[in-house]
Amino acid sequence: MPKPGESSISCCTYIPSSGLTVYNEPNGEPLGKLEPRTFDGSEEVYGAYLKVGQDSTILDYTNFHMIGYEVTALLYVDKQGAFVKTHDGYWLSVEELESKELILTTWMDYLIKKGDVLGWYANEPGLNLRAGPSTENTVLATLKGDLWEITLTEEVNGLWCKVTVKQYREHPCSGGEDLVVQTLTGWVKLLADEQTPNVWNYSKGC
């Protein structure tokens, strides 16, 4: 993800207007470039084109994650040396990413450090809130839906994170008062075994 204020980033996706070189493998041969799609105001446009020679194809949406209002970031699924791999199997140079003021971050760090969210909520079919960071610990509650708001702490253990949870009668966006049923503290398995988030948030706000 880019540093705030980076003027070379396109409107709706964190890929520089100058593009990013795509490689066939770590330290391999350049295949082409990723270039951001153009936003003309007539439709929502996210993502990027993969340009190889005269050919241009739209990179699959699974390569991106919405991290803010109308803004997406490019995902990577593997890192080998100074290269990272996209969902579609292409490789990008870490050196080039950093030279263009893009920041590599893990899912754990991203979730914990992202502060401008209404709250995190458990993916289906739900998450168990436990007394400790293991499935051997007691289940304190099962978190399902957006009436269980999860606030993350910086205390982690492997794929687990210590959290504070509020259960609501109605979602806070309803504007009601005295909505909190109970507040609990415990641990959730924040990341799945494949290192993807077990939580989601309203990226566009209420």
Tens digits of residue pLDDT in 89-143: 899 999 999 999 888 999 999 999 887 677 899 999 999 999 999 999 999 999 9
Amino acid 125 reads P
pTM over 0.85: no
Mean pLDDT for all residues in the chain: 86
Segments making up each domain of the chain, as ranges: 20-104, 112-200
Side-chain-side CA neighbours of residue 206 (13 Å) = 6
φ/ψ of residue 94, rounded to 5 = -60, -40
Average pLDDT over residues 37-53: 66
The residue count of the chain comes to 206
Is residue 18 scored above 90 in pLDDT?
no
CA 93, CA 70: separation in Å to the nearest integer?
26
Helix H segments across the chain?
94-99, 107-113
Is residue 5 scored above 70 in pLDDT?
no
Average pLDDT over residues 167-189: 92
Please state, in angstroms and as integers, the Cα–Cα distance from residue 132 to each residue in 128, 153, 154, following that order: 11, 14, 15
